[in-house]
Structure 1
Amino acid sequence: MRRIPLLLLAALTALLGSLLVTPAATAAPGFTTRYETIPGEGGTPLKAFVIRPTGRGPGPHPLLVLPSSWGVNNLEYVGAAWKMAYESGYVVVSYTSRGFWDSGGEIGVAGPTDVADARRVIDWAIEHAGGDPARVGMAGISYGSGISLLTAAADRRVRAVSAMSGWADLAASLYPNHTVSFQAVELLMGLGHLTGRPGPELRQAEADYRAGNFDKVLPIAPERSVSTKVDQINANRPAVMIAHPWQDGIFPPSQLVDFYNRVSGPKRLMLSPGDHATPELFGAAGFPNEIWENTRRWFDHHLRGVDNGIDRENPVHLKPNNGGGWRSYPSWEAATGRTSTFYLTQPTTGWTSPQVTGSLAGSPATGWTHRINTGWDTAANSGTIMVSGMLQGFFNIPTGVWMPQVNRADAGVWWGPSYDRATTVNGAPRLHTTVTPSAATTTLYAYLYDVGSLGDGALITHKPLTLRGAKPGVAQSVDIDLEPVTWNVPAGHRLVLVVDTVDPRYVGMSQRGATVTFGSPEGDPSWLRIPTA
């Protein structure tokens, strides 16, 4: 049954390619569009749109190679490719990644064959489409982003990269702190089956995942993670631009920030509101878009030598997740180096707090413990991938909670002081505490909320942590680095920390009937460190 839509797609794209061909020789700048079959690694046919500039001399012209996203075909970037060819004279190849749609082969999960495919596409474009071997760039969204970075580590011809909504560390993305990102994995598996043909690695990974053996999936991650190839990136010195959404539900931003900080060559980091692939979505179709406009400027400078000033700008650009313009910094450290430390106090009840609630105080509080039940969900959660982040990014509608609804029997809650002036959380908050689980395996979820005077909370950031192989009844200290974010906290609002043990986004390991006890022993107080702008 799949052959019919694939044949229709091939016919439509071939017809589109023939209709869009413009005369090759023209006085004014223009472009031609052709639908091609490019031999990938081992001769595997890769279907591609090849856009060539006209009216700009015989060439060779700077070359951009755009691998498609997971589950998407080569139509993904055609609008942006037309603009790049027309405005800046690039040869652009937008191709469907191996194993998807009408390209041949099986899905390789950004493995060695996918990198080899990208290199074969570069070879072909240099030989058959007038691409300049000395001026090669790669860009992509999601899967295309990961393949672009991995190819830049393997091929010195790639002089510039724009990586959008991608990953640097596959394990840290899908298995953060030993916690399976359930919604992300299910979405990727489903799209793989719907739009492509899973290869042996993906089939085995799915079998292990379904059997509950996610640890067996992890060995395929390092080879597919550019975080393990930073030395090659730094040796090749491509100009690396990373653009990423704060609430990416598939590839959280922290692992890319870590990679960015280790890159020594020309680099740029842009973090903005939205979920996976949403900030750059419309730009790929050719509509005005600040991420793609910066991508064009990045390539214009590093491939065409245009003095557009992008090399003199601060490289770190952060856009608040709840509204406001871009803020730029000379480094990630400069953006996040200022911190405030709050100490967790014992949750109690009182006239002003009828529910069991702790505070975030200015000085250490030790000698207390507080126990909650595990395995029961509360009103606090991280939302739904591809929905919550889009609502936040496009409409400034946060993942919310009304704090009185959070069941204190199943969650620890600590309220911070009300701010007398507006402040900005700018970076990755860190929680340090001592926990005593009653079970060998327990999953904790730390949430940081912006809460107004009526108890209405907006989720700022979160992070899971699964304790595996713990000794029941034995205390241990834990550190949870929440995902980085830029968030404006209005005057009169306060920060509230919630820690519970169930979140539908993840495969949690907490057991009903068990408990976890928080503590703040002498000499090791519990604290929450908040980076501020």
Structure 2
Amino acid sequence: MPSKIAALVAGSVLLSAGFAGAPAAAAETPGGRTVEVASFDGTKIVTNFFPARGPGAGERAASVLLGSGFGGRGATDPETGELGYLLDAGYNVVTWNPRGFGSEGQVQIDDPRAEGRDVRALIDWIAKQPEAKLDGRGDPRLGMAGGSYGGAIQLVTAGLDDRVDVIVPGYTYHSLNDALYPNRTIKAGWAFGLCSAGLQNGNEFHPRVSSICWRALTTGEVTKPDETWMREHGPDFLMKKIDIPTLFVQGVTDTLFPVSHAIAGYRTIKANGAPVKMVWTCGGHANCMDAEHDASVDREATLAWFQRHLRGDKSVRTGPEFTYPDNTGVRHSAKAFPPPAAKPARGSGSGTTLFSPADNSGAMFTGGYSHNRIEIPVDAPSGGVLVGAPELTMKYRGRATDATTSVYAQLIDASVPVPGDLPASVIPPLAEGDPQVVNGMVTPVPVTLDGAAHELTIDLEAVAWRLRPGSKLKLQIIPNSAVYNQQRAAGWITVTSATVTVPTTAG
């Protein structure tokens, strides 16, 4: 992944009881075997089993289900990536082609009623493999790993099946609606990227998924039935049932699944009384502009978590409960989230702006500086790191051709310019030298522009940003963002009073 880019589509990275029928004859897979496992409804799921090497070679070993990305297939190269290092660590690893993505059936986006039951069938099958260590009859010693679509399916499965012992959900979502449709505003750039990637390579969507894609890209709306259907996918309501060790890994510049989703999951699992850890990185569906993602952070955290909680090695220390990078790549840690608070950054102001569908700012997958804005200076304390969700309180009035619309809020650091060597994949390009949007994060703010006075308070997307000497922090309220659906109204908005408070820590 390019080193200086705030966000890129990762279409093949985005991811997702029954009775396992007789598998098909084993196929040749380098270092493993491939079969088809029949799910609850007879759908055949292409499944790859790789016996442990390293410390577990030749013995019954704990197994890890490794999920794949949206539109992708189960990993089959045992020499690379997460599959390679889990095998080297002595675990059996099972990968699979999700329903509709290289297996029979239609993609239903990690639906507990479909993909969730598919994985339960895989667990039944794993328990019958001679290499699999068991905790009891039909109950393999089992962890789960994988990112995005493969992160969500872990939360779904663990909420359905108590045979899952440990999970490491990476770069994934707490709620499908809140991820793709936050504050009832479509992430149009991501919708285009995901729907396009998902329909390649002979993949087959459920009709509901196809209709959601079509409406999102043509009207910018999601119907109530569509919204209800997505809400039923969770995994938020299933997470209340998860009481096993859980390691969340999330990217601070990931505008598809921001760190707010990991925070929500972390708080739920902690309230359940289970061991939990949260690691923020410069990875996921994004990368920091001024710092490269260090993949060893993910790998070392995952291996330590499995060694301690799946293998049961109590001598292994998994480290602080919360670790995170700032925008320069320096890593910080705390005993828990949120970290100890320092004096917050605060700002207040007012202003007026006109807007129309012609307005735009940023790129499809990351926020960018806007020249059509209401701009509010934020008094940032010298030193320290912004960590957590800013809170915006806003009094406003205005009129528009569509009274129910959204404006957008983003923090910028005027002392940190956009670098000049962004790759051509940033569409449209960000302007070199413009101030950077803090972590590329943009939050839709629903407004009613009917001429009357209104007031709202809303949390913006969480950030992790080092305050350097001379940092010039500002809040922009802007009429449009390319990350989201195009502004479809024309009109004006006057913010009579806005106050923003950003949590900080000493770092």
Aligned alpha-carbon RMSD (Å): 2.8
Tell me which amino acid in the other structure corresponds to 1:194: Q
Cα distance 1:446–1:222, how it changes in 2: closer, same or farther (>3 A)? same
- Gaps of at least 5 residues in structure 2 are 1-23, 136-140, 289-293, 418-432
What CA deviation, in whole Å up to 9, does each residue of 1:217-260 have, x standing for no partner?
A: 21122221221223211xxx111111011121322221221221
Out of 262, 268, 272, which is 2:277 matched to? 268
Aligned position for 1:495 = 473
Query: CA–CA distance in 2 between the matches of 1:481 and 1:133?
Result: 45
What CA deviation, in whole Å up to 9, does each residue of 1:465-488 have, x standing for no partner?
A: 3536x3611111122322212111
1:422 deviates by 2.8
Tell me which amino acid in the other structure corresponds to 1:73: R
Query: CA–CA distance in 2 between the matches of 1:57 and 1:413?
Result: 61
1:275 deviates by 4.6
Tell me which amino acid in the other structure corresponds to 1:515: W
Aligned position for 2:355 = 374
1:314 deviates by 1.7
Q: Does 1:532 align with 2:501?
A: no
Which residues in structure 2 correspond to 1:57-456 (within 5 Å)? Answer: 59-75=59-75, 78=78, 79=80, 80-87=82-89, 89-101=90-102, 103-111=103-111, 112-134=113-135, 135-195=141-201, 196-209=203-216, 210-216=218-224, 217-233=226-242, 237-264=243-270, 265-276=274-285, 289-311=296-318, 313-324=319-330, 326-335=331-340, 337-340=341-344, 342-346=346-350, 370-375=351-356, 381-385=361-365, 401=369, 406-407=370-371, 410-417=372-379, 421-439=382-400, 440-452=403-415, 456=434
Tell me which amino acid in the other structure corresponds to 2:363: G
1:164 deviates by 0.9
1:188 deviates by 1.4
Tell me which amino acid in the other structure corresponds to 1:472: D
Query: CA–CA distance in 1 between the matches of 2:329 and 2:52?
Result: 38
Cα distance 1:449–1:129, how it changes in 2: closer, same or farther (>3 A)? farther
- Contact 1:437–1:472 (8 Å) recurs in 2: yes
Cα distance 1:474–1:310, how it changes in 2: closer, same or farther (>3 A)? farther
- Contact 1:222–1:228 (8 Å) recurs in 2: no
1:400 deviates by 5.9
1:431 deviates by 1.6
1:527 deviates by 1.2
SS in 1 for 2:49: strand
Cα distance 1:423–1:456, how it changes in 2: closer, same or farther (>3 A)? farther
1:532 deviates by 1.0
Cα distance 1:118–1:453, how it changes in 2: closer, same or farther (>3 A)? closer
Cα distance 1:19–1:173, how it changes in 2: closer, same or farther (>3 A)? closer
**Normalised by the size of structure 1, how large is the TM-score?**
0.77
Query: CA–CA distance in 2 between the matches of 1:64 and 1:483?
Result: 32
What CA deviation, in whole Å up to 9, does each residue of 1:270-321 have, x standing for no partner?
A: 1111351769xxxxxxx9632022111111111111134335x321111113
- Gaps of at least 5 residues in structure 1 are 1-13, 22-32, 280-286, 347-369, 389-398, 521-525
- Contact 2:320–2:334 (8 Å) recurs in 1: yes
1:52 deviates by 0.6
Q: Which is worse superposed, 92-101 or 337-346?
A: 337-346
Tell me which amino acid in the other structure corresponds to 2:339: A
SS in 2 for 1:479: strand
What CA deviation, in whole Å up to 9, does each residue of 1:438-483 have, x standing for no partner?
A: 1312311111111129985121043333536x36111111223222
Query: CA–CA distance in 2 between the matches of 1:178 and 1:486?
Result: 25
**Larger helix share, 1 or 2:** 1
- Contact 1:297–1:308 (8 Å) recurs in 2: no
Query: CA–CA distance in 1 between the matches of 2:334 and 2:380?
Result: 28
1:105 deviates by 1.2
Tell me which amino acid in the other structure corresponds to 1:477: E
Cα distance 1:17–1:339, how it changes in 2: closer, same or farther (>3 A)? farther
SS in 2 for 1:304: coil
1:338 deviates by 3.6
1:212 deviates by 4.7
Out of 403, 428, 453, which is 1:475 matched to? 453
Aligned position for 1:458 = 436
Cα distance 1:472–1:131, how it changes in 2: closer, same or farther (>3 A)? same
Aligned position for 1:352 = none
**Normalised by the size of structure 2, how large is the TM-score?**
0.80
Q: For this pair of structures, how many residues does the alignment match?
A: 443
Identity of paired residues, percent? 23
Cα distance 1:207–1:99, how it changes in 2: closer, same or farther (>3 A)? same
Query: CA–CA distance in 1 between the matches of 2:144 and 2:374?
Result: 46
Tell me which amino acid in the other structure corresponds to 1:433: M
Query: CA–CA distance in 1 between the matches of 2:324 and 2:172?
Result: 17
What CA deviation, in whole Å up to 9, does each residue of 1:358-404 have, x standing for no partner?
A: xxxxxxxxxxxx3210226667x44332xx5xxxxxxxxxx664xxx
Tell me which amino acid in the other structure corresponds to 1:340: P
Tell me which amino acid in the other structure corresponds to 1:371: T
- Contact 2:357–2:487 (8 Å) recurs in 1: no
- Contact 1:180–1:508 (8 Å) recurs in 2: no
- Structure number with greater CO (CA < 8 Å, separation at least 6) is 2
- Contact 2:345–2:378 (8 Å) recurs in 1: no
Aligned position for 1:519 = 496
SS in 2 for 1:317: strand
What CA deviation, in whole Å up to 9, does each residue of 1:194-219 have, x standing for no partner?
A: 13101133133234434554033211
Query: CA–CA distance in 1 between the matches of 2:28 and 2:489?
Result: 60
1:507 deviates by 0.9
SS in 1 for 2:285: coil
Structure with max Cα Rg: 1
What CA deviation, in whole Å up to 9, does each residue of 1:311-365 have, x standing for no partner?
A: 5x321111113321x2111221235x4452524235xxxxxxxxxxxxxxxxxxx
- Contact 2:30–2:76 (8 Å) recurs in 1: no
SS in 2 for 1:493: coil
1:508 deviates by 4.1
Query: CA–CA distance in 2 between the matches of 1:142 and 1:463?
Result: 20
SS in 2 for 1:499: strand
SS in 2 for 1:232: coil
Which residues in structure 2 correspond to 1:12-27 (within 5 Å)? Answer: 18=28, 20-21=30-31
SS in 2 for 1:106: coil
- Contact 2:409–2:445 (8 Å) recurs in 1: no
